[in-house]
Amino acid sequence: KQEVTQIPAALSVPEGENLVLNCSFTDSAIYNLQWFRQDPGKGLTSLLLIQSSQREQTSGRLNASLDKSSGRSTLYIAASQPGDSATYLCAPTRGAGSYQLTFGKGTKLSVIP
Amino acid sequence: GAVVSQHPSRVICKSGTSVKIECRSLDFQATTMFWYRQFPKQSLMLMATSNEGSKATYEQGVEKDKFLINHASLTLSTLTVTSAHPEDSSFYICSAQPGLATRSYEQYFGPGTRLTVT
């Protein structure tokens, strides 16, 4: 059974700071891993998808890395802005043969102006 | 692109009634759709996986007779909560996956439906 842990659970940083969110998962036989953001009371917005064969993906100020063998992924946010405040969710696929996602509890990010 | 809608966004119903939630992929065909529920301050829990034209596969502990899922077309899936009870109150979110047609297994999520059972 895939289990996902996200550290820290909450993070507060001043505007402009670079930050790293961590995700670890127990079953490394994944197809891919997605990072999402969720604003309060809203659905999920997909940020990045990393295929199991990839090491990293970049989109704007976001960079996600994947170390499948050690069961780790990080999301790097550069030059944080107040609009980045949200909960960030890491979701690897379950394991061999499954495209279903397993979610961590998320990291709640607050960027202080 | 890759927009998924849900309707309604909020619904309040009385205990014992049934509620239907629709999930539509607006600009792509979804081979597979997923239904999740999320309790306050908790993560998303997968309820079921549905493939177009097939019966849904339910996660352990999810009552298939209570949460009826229909995936009648490549752009529409519905979740019906039957005989709703207050403990069914939750945030329900669907996602859609293009799948084999485009070789994309990325999931695109709807905006969610807040169900309150009184």
Mean pLDDT by groups of 10 residues along chain B of 118 residues: 91 97 93 92 91 89 94 92 96 88 77 96
Identify all chain A residues contacting B8, using CB atoms and an 8 Å cutoff: none
In this prediction, residue A69 has a pLDDT band, given cuts at 50, 70 and 90, of: very high
Instruction: Determine the pLDDT at residue B31.
Output: 85
Q: Tell me if chain B has a CB within 8 Å of the CB of A104.
A: yes
Q: Tell me if chain B has a CB within 8 Å of the CB of A49.
A: yes
Contacts for B99 with CB less than 8 Å, ≥ 6 apart? A99, B30, B31, B32, B105
Report chain A's mean pLDDT, rounded to a whole number.
94
Bigger pLDDT: A16 vs A96: A16
State the Cα–Cα distance between residues B45 and B39, nearest whole angstrom: 9
Q: Are B44 and A45 a contacting pair at CB < 8 A?
A: no
Look at the block and give the residue holding tokens 């990291």: A107
CA distance B82 to chain A (A): 23
Average pLDDT estimate for A13-37: 95
Identify all chain A residues contacting B32, using CB atoms and an 8 Å cutoff: 99
Q: Are A46 and B93 a contacting pair at CB < 8 A?
A: no
Nearest-5° Cα angle at A77, B3 to A99:
45
Instruction: Determine the pLDDT at residue A98.
Output: 80
State the Cα–Cα distance between residues A39 and A97, nearest whole angstrom: 31
Instruction: Determine the pLDDT at residue A81.
Output: 97
Q: Tell me if chain B has a CB within 8 Å of the CB of A44.
A: yes
